[in-house]
Amino acid sequence: MLQVESVRYLKEENQIIILDQTLLPTKEEYLTISTIESLWEAIVKLQVRGAPAIGIAAAYGAAMAAQKLDVTSYEAFNQEYQAITAYLASSRPTAVNLFWALNRMEQIVKDHSHQSVAQLKVQLIEEADLIKKEDAQMCKQIGEHALTLLEDGQTVLTHCNAGAIATAQYGTALAPIYLAKERGMTLRVYADETRPLLQGARLTTWELMKAGIDVTLITDNMAAMVMQQGKIDAVIVGCDRIAANGDAANKIGTYGVAVLAEKHGIPFYVAGPTSTIDMDTKTGSEIPIEEREAIEITNGFGKQTAPDGVKVYNPAFDVTPHELITAIITEKGVIERPDEAKMRAMFGE
Ligand code: MRU
């Protein structure tokens, strides 16, 4: 298992330590965060990224800011806490884990109106700790379920980074790879570089190599060819929000990989904890898709690669229709050929 913590809270100092993912793979440096403004910025700049890690960071951010509220009445605390939540919720729109974690934290405030502000502050830290702990457990269970779909010696293609550093531990799409390694099995990985911010090239290869896993980097436009050459047995990707009908938003380019997998008869798996499932969003068309600045495409990593003033469209995510998904893998189990009825059944609805 990869021994890297993407988000950590220091109780005594009331500070959040974040692995700065924008500096990888060349520098492994940690940011010390002590204001919600700097946490908001870290989320927007992708210094902390990946749906579950964003949720964990936001939960600690809310808890950290709450510690500093200099009020004594519940009403005043609640009012200021709402403002903290609204601010953090404005950082990124697509990954539902952000809103899921903030809602969970807010519920603590709502449910404990009879308690002192001092007690509430402690409970908020405990809840953020729990969100992180549960995420690690969910990721491990996702890995267990995903392993039932894979065989020793197989090669998996992944897109973006849904690994340990995008979660509390293990990752989602990469969880079965780490578990396989722990059990003496061999799974090989092809990592799409993932234009334009190169999460695959910079992060997925970094963490897999660090863990001693066989990984091969390809550019995004090579996925079709490696599938055609028979090099890929399965695709596993993470997700930022799964709608009630099983449509799944993930890093831009995922949809294309799903179409390619279908064409080549390769199973296409989406791995994510139930905190990434949004049953209030009926279909993928309702998922808000973040659009990011043109400069990420025209001047990626400091080099200008397009003419000044060129029109740019830069959606950060796309939606894979559920018809293209062989199975969704959550901590609760595997939903084959997902649809709304199967999704609701998993939640006991
Ligand atoms: O923009 P990013 O880097 O936050 O996008 C991340 C992804 O698309 C991941 O695949 C997803 O969040 C799952 S992380 C376990």
Q: If you search the block for the tokens 């870290």, which residue do you land on? A: 42
- The reported pLDDT for the residue numbered 1 is 65
pLDDT in tens, 7-47: 999 999 999 999 999 999 999 999 999 999 999 999 999 99
Q: Looking at this protein, which amino acid is placed at residue 120?
A: L
Residue 68 assigned ligand-binding role: no
Is pLDDT above 90 for 2?
no
In this predicted structure, what is the pLDDT of residue 16? 98
Render pLDDT for 176-204 as a digit per residue (tens, 0 to 9).
999 999 999 999 999 999 999 999 999 99
- Cα-to-chain-centroid distance, residue 192: 16
One-letter amino acid of 195: R
Q: Is the pLDDT of residue 349 over 90?
A: no
Q: What is the pLDDT of residues 40-88, one digit of tens each?
A: 999 999 999 999 999 999 999 999 999 999 999 999 999 999 999 999 9
pLDDT surpassing 90 at residue 107? yes
Pocket test of ligand 1: the residue of 141, 158, 207, 250 to mutate, having most ligand atoms within 8 Å of its CB, is 250
Note if 240 is an active site residue. Answer: yes
Burial of 301 (0-12, 13-18, 19+ CB in 10 A): exposed
Q: What is the structure's pLDDT at 347?
A: 87
Query: pTM of the full predicted structure?
Result: 0.97
pLDDT tens-digit series, residues 287-338: 999 999 999 999 999 899 999 999 999 999 999 999 999 999 999 999 999 9
Ligand 1 center to residue 343 CA distance, Å? 21
Average pLDDT score over the chain = 97
Closest CA to 43 of 108, 107, 88, 101: 88
| Res 101 pLDDT > 80 | yes
Atom of ligand 1 nearest to the CA of 160: 10
223 three-class SS: helix
Residue 118 CB: number of other CB atoms within 10 A? 9
Q: Of 192, 240, 247, 318, which residue is the catalytic one? A: 240
Atom of ligand 1 nearest to the CA of 290: 1
DSSP 3-state of 218: strand
Report the distance separating Cα 85 and Cα 99, nearest Å.
9
* pLDDT tens, residue by residue, 210-235: 999 999 999 999 999 999 999 999 99
Ligand 1-lining residues (CB < 6 angstroms)? 46, 49-52, 95, 160, 162, 166-167, 171-172, 199, 238-240, 250-251, 316
Tell me the per-residue pLDDT of 146-181, one tens digit each, with 9 for 90 and over: 999 999 999 999 999 999 999 999 999 999 999 999
User: Is residue 251 annotated as involved in ligand binding?
Assistant: yes
Q: Which of 7, 157, 161, 275 to mutate to test the pocket of ligand 1 (most atoms within 8 A of CB)?
A: 161
Q: Which residue in 296, 295, 278 sits closest to 287, CA to CA? A: 278
Q: Which domains does the chain have, with CATH numbers?
A: 7-139 (1.20.120.420), 140-347 (3.40.50.10470)
Ligand 1 atom at minimal distance to the Cα of residue 50: 12
Interface ipTM > 0.90: yes
At residue 234, the 3 state secondary structure works out as strand
Q: Is 335 in contact with 346 (CB distance < 8 Å)? A: yes
User: Would residue 337 be called left, alpha or beta, if left means φ above 0 and alpha means ψ between -120 and 50 degrees?
Assistant: left
